[in-house]
Amino acid sequence: MRLTGWPAAGVKGGHLTGPGVARLILRTIAASSTLTGICFALAAGMIYSLNDMSIKFLSSGYPLHQIVATRSVIALVIVLLSMRLITGGWHHLRTSRFRFHALRVGVVFISNITYFLGLAALPLADAVATAYIGPVFITLLSIFFLGEKVGPHRWAAVVAGLIGTLVMVRPGAGTLQVAALLVVFSAFTYAVSQMMVRQMRGTESTFTMGFYMQAGFLLSSLTTGALIGHGQFNVFEDGSLTFLFRPWVWPTPSDLPFFIVMGLAIGAASLMMAQAYRTLEAAVAAPFEYIAIPMAVFWGLTVFGTLPDLTSFAGMALIIGSGLYTIWRETVKKKS
The per-residue pLDDT for range 3-12, each reduced to its tens digit, is 434 344 444 5
Cα distance between residue 75 and residue 59, in whole Å: 19
On whether residue 79 sits in a domain, the answer given is yes
On whether residue 295 sits in a domain, the answer given is yes
Q: How much of the chain, in percent, has pLDDT values that exceed 70? A: 83
The per-residue pLDDT for range 199-257, each reduced to its tens digit, is 887 788 888 888 998 899 999 999 999 998 888 888 777 777 888 889 998 999 999 99
Given a contact cutoff of 8 angstroms between Cβ atoms, the answer to whether 240 and 52 are in contact is no
DSSP one-letter string for 189-257: HHHHHHHHHHHHTTT--HHHHHHHHHHHHHHHHHHHHHHHTTSTT----SHHHHHHHPPP-PPPTTTHH
The per-residue pLDDT for range 161-178, each reduced to its tens digit, is 788 877 776 665 554 567
The per-residue pLDDT for range 285-333, each reduced to its tens digit, is 777 777 888 899 899 999 988 888 788 788 878 877 876 776 677 666 6
Q: What is the pLDDT of residue 2?
A: 40
Q: What is the pLDDT of residue 155?
A: 82
pTM metric for this prediction: 0.74
Q: Does residue 293 sit in helix, strand or coil?
A: helix
For residue 280, report the phi and psi dihedrals to the nearest 5 degrees.
-120, 155
On whether residue 15 sits in a domain, the answer given is no
Query: In total, how many domains does the chain have?
Result: 1
The per-residue pLDDT for range 25-38, each reduced to its tens digit, is 555 544 546 778 88
Count, in order, helices (H) and strands (E) of the chain: 14, 2
Task: Check whether 186 has a pLDDT greater than 90.
Answer: yes
The per-residue pLDDT for range 49-104, each reduced to its tens digit, is 999 999 999 998 999 999 999 999 998 998 899 888 888 778 888 888 889 999 99
Q: What is the pLDDT of residue 13?
A: 53
Tell me the CA distances in angstroms from 45 to 143, 199, 229, 270, one per residue in order: 23, 22, 31, 10
Four-residue CA torsion sign, 226, 231, 232, 238: positive
Residues in Cβ contact with 181 at an 8 Å cutoff, skipping those fewer than 6 apart: 118
On whether residue 8 sits in a domain, the answer given is no
Residue 89 DSSP code: S
* Displacement of CA 334 from its chain's centroid (Å): 27
For residue 61, report the phi and psi dihedrals to the nearest 5 degrees.
-130, -10
Residues in Cβ contact with 30 at an 8 Å cutoff, skipping those fewer than 6 apart: none
On whether residue 6 sits in a domain, the answer given is no
Task: Check whether 191 has a pLDDT greater than 50.
Answer: yes
Provide the residue count of the chain. 336
DSSP one-letter string for 92-103: GG--S-HHHHHH
Given a contact cutoff of 8 angstroms between Cβ atoms, the answer to whether 128 and 300 are in contact is no
- For residue 297, the enclosing domain spans 32-335
Q: State mean pLDDT over 274-292.
A: 77
On whether residue 20 sits in a domain, the answer given is no
